Structure 1
Amino acid sequence: MPAEKLFTPVDIRGVHVRNRLWVSPMCQYSVEEWDGVPTDWHLAHLGSLARGGAGLVMTEATAVNPEGRITNWDTGIWNDTQADAWRRIVGFIHSQGATAAMQLAHAGRKASTFREWSGKGSQAVEDGGWETVAPSAVAFDGYATPRELTVEEIKGIVADFAAAARRALDAGFDGLEIHGAHGYLVHQFLSPLSNLRTDEYGGSLENRARILLEIVRALRAEAGDAVPLLVRLSATDWVDGGWNLEDTITVAGWAAAAGADWFDLSSGGLVARASIPVKPMYQVGFATAVREGTGMPVNAVGLITTPQEAAQIVGNDEADAVMVAREFLRDPHFGLRAAHELGVELDYWPPQYTRAAWRTGA
């Protein structure tokens, strides 16, 4: 039955995930000390989602080096102090029966900005910001112009992803995701709108995809054969002449050959002026196209807000799992509620909450 399939487990390499209703990465901008160390907020936030029935809980975009943060208020995984703090959070996620994964990220030209409630646009160096870097010296609309990365610096960022992956795994995370979407650094390399390079990292699709494939290979080498490796991609820039679905399918196939296991399909984020036809489940077709074009498992994301929508997507084989963001913020127990509404009995209600458990027919 379609409803039941949403709550069937899935095995990815050596990791067992209890269902296919997963928590999407969601930036919290809550590191008040500006040191990248996750706090009690992150414990409560991610822990509540694990307790609420999610199969896999993904961290927010977590920077692989200080310059890779979107804001000063972002989490990081570039030092051991940060890794130690993440270990406590992972332990609680596991105690609730959920799988813990970390999204590794570098914001590129969209780094050194204010969080939404603290300011607008780029944070100047004199105010605690930093010089941003990118494939080319092309600014995101309204942000500071970045400095073009040297080839040596690109290699250094690949190494930073590998070192961050090792720290994440040592902290207990079960899986890793490379953030290659939403206009951040990897996406900036992929798109011809932001990558104007003429060396081995620019020009052809093969060259623009080079950094992603190098990161995939580096993480697979670091993680070994038992760890799931996901890649989040924006399927389209929603702008003529930009990155598109055909490119996404091609590069996803290359990434799979390099060691990626699963693809998480979103869209947009590279160009502020893009016109995006937002509506419920508007990105599901991208996931389906990549699934059919590569034969690889995929997540669907984007305005999936009801149990029925999630069950339909997985039950009809439009995607292998769904990632939900805002609905989990509205209701941290969305996983448990979804099972009840779909008539599925779960055996992982927290024992402290069983007096309140919904039962089929109740």
Structure 2
Amino acid sequence: MSLLLSPYTIRNMTMNNRVMMSPMGMVSAQEDGKVNDWHMLHYGARALGQVGLIMLEVSAVDKYGKDYGSLGIWEDEHIEGMQRLVSLLQAQGSKVGIQLWHAGRKSDIPGHAVSASGLPHGDQDSRALTIAEIQQTIQHFREAAIRAVKAGFDVIELHAAHGYLLNDFLSSYTNRRTDAYGGTVDKRYRLLSEVIAAVRDVWEGPLFVRVSADEYGEEGNRIEHTVQYTNRMKEQGVDLIDVSSGGVYPDKPNVYPGYQVPYAEAIRRQSDIATAAVGLITTGTEAEAILNKGQADVIAIGRALLRDPFWVRTAALQLHESIPAPQPYQAAW
């Protein structure tokens, strides 16, 4: 059997295949951030399509560190809806992950955009977090992880990419602090380090981190800086790096099929840690080639899964293989 369609074990979890639904913000929650019927339908279709790991869209750990329409996990009232969604997806054979997130200076809640150094995002101003507020933010991530345990998630992913709060502290472009949380690589990493430690204190399952491997602008992180961070992440018990790029500068990079795969390969080899490759990977043959070359361990599929909830079956056909049909479909599969 192909690598793409083979089971994959990471820490204490085994996926039925190496396909991960990439987290994509659908902004379809109400202001309260709770799961609704639309999420059941949207994610349920991909579980029926046999996706190995479904990573939910960004879920805010702070009611102000979000966008309108974002899911939330900042209070206990979110647990019940998340639990129902997780159980629904697991019943179809998928593992389920939650992406814990603080929007930082990209929050669209008026007056609540915060950041490492008070830089604006477009026309929106932000305010630099105080040390006390940083400690409170770390506690918010820890409490969110406790709720993820109660909801039954299989994976937690920390969103430290795309210019959101954790990335804002990691970036030498956006982090211009002169205290214990800014300046050197070690100091810029401190917030993420303390968040990882806080989450690991309450979470025994697989822990992923999404990074922007290259920020593309004249200043900011390049792959060599990101590898320094991912080396530290491995030491702290992170299991997989979900490798994206960009999102800090407003300018968009030149994109093409597999344009981020070399970053996943570099981190996998230089940090000796599992990686997920993402970015315009659309066919089973492309995904299989990435795995066979040892460039990544998991393939994260985004927009292609929006267009085709049964992308795993489509990929199997492209690889001249087959996957089991959902029981109710077997007579007509």
Task: Give the structure-1-normalised TM-score.
Answer: 0.90
Of 101, 104, 121, the match for 2:100: 104
Secondary structure at 1:104's aligned position in 2?
A: strand
1:136, distance to aligned residue in structure 2 (A)? 0.9
Counterpart in the other structure of 1:66 = 63
Q: Does the aligned pair in 2 maintain the 1:140–1:271 contact within 8 Å?
A: no
Cα distance in 2 for residues equivalent to 1:336 and 1:62: 29
- Counterpart of 1:277 in structure 2 is 254
Separation in structure 2 between the aligned mates of residue 355 and residue 267 of structure 1, nearest angstrom: 43
User: In structure 2, what is the Cα distance between the partners aligned to 1:308 and 1:53?
Assistant: 18
Give CA-to-partner distance per residue, 1:166-190, whole Å, 9 cap, x none. Answer: 1011101011000000110111001
Is contact 1:327–1:334 with CA below 8 Å preserved after alignment?
yes
Say whether 1:178 aligns with 2:158.
Answer: yes
Q: Show CA shifts across 1:298-317 (max 9, x none).
A: 00000011111111111221
**Contact 2:276–2:300 under 8 Å retained in 1:** yes
Aligned to 1:28: 26
State the distance in 2 between where 1:159 and 1:355 align.
51
Distance in 2, Cα, partners of 1:141 & 1:271: 10
- Once the two structures are superposed, the pairs formed by residues 338-353 of structure 1 within 5 Å of their partners are 338-347=315-324, 349-353=325-329
Letter in 1 for 2:136: G
Q: How far apart are the structure 1 equivalents of 2:297 and 2:192?
A: 23
**Superimposed CA distance per residue, residues 259-292 of structure 1 (whole angstroms, 9 cap, x where no aligned partner):** 101000000001103x511111100000000001
Name the % identity.
38
1:200 matched residue in structure 2: 180
SS at match of 2:202: helix
Equivalent position of 2:306 in the other structure: 329
Cα distance in 1 for residues equivalent to 2:224 and 2:217: 14
* Paired residues of 2:89 and 2:96 also in contact (CA < 8 A): yes
Give the root-mean-square deviation of aligned CA atoms. Answer: 1.1
Query: Retained in 2: the 8 A contact 1:109–1:146?
Result: yes
Give the letter for the 1:181 counterpart: A
Task: Report the 3-state secondary structure (helix = DSSP H, G, I; strand = E; otherwise coil) of the residue aligned with 1:62.
Answer: strand
- Compute the displacement of 1:141 (Å): 2.2
* Shift in CA distance, 356/313, structure 1 to aligned 2, threshold 3 Å: farther
Letter in 2 for 1:234: S
Q: Using the alignment, how far apart are the partners of 2:75 and 2:164 within structure 1?
A: 22
Does the aligned pair in 2 maintain the 1:141–1:271 contact within 8 Å? no
Q: In the TM superposition, what is the alpha-carbon distance from 1:228 to its structure 2 partner? A: 0.1
The reply on whether 1:303 has 2:280 as its aligned counterpart is yes
Deviation sequence 1:310-345 (CA, Å, 0-9, x none) = 111112211101100000000011012211221223
Give the match for residue 115 of structure 1. none
Matched residue, 1:118: none
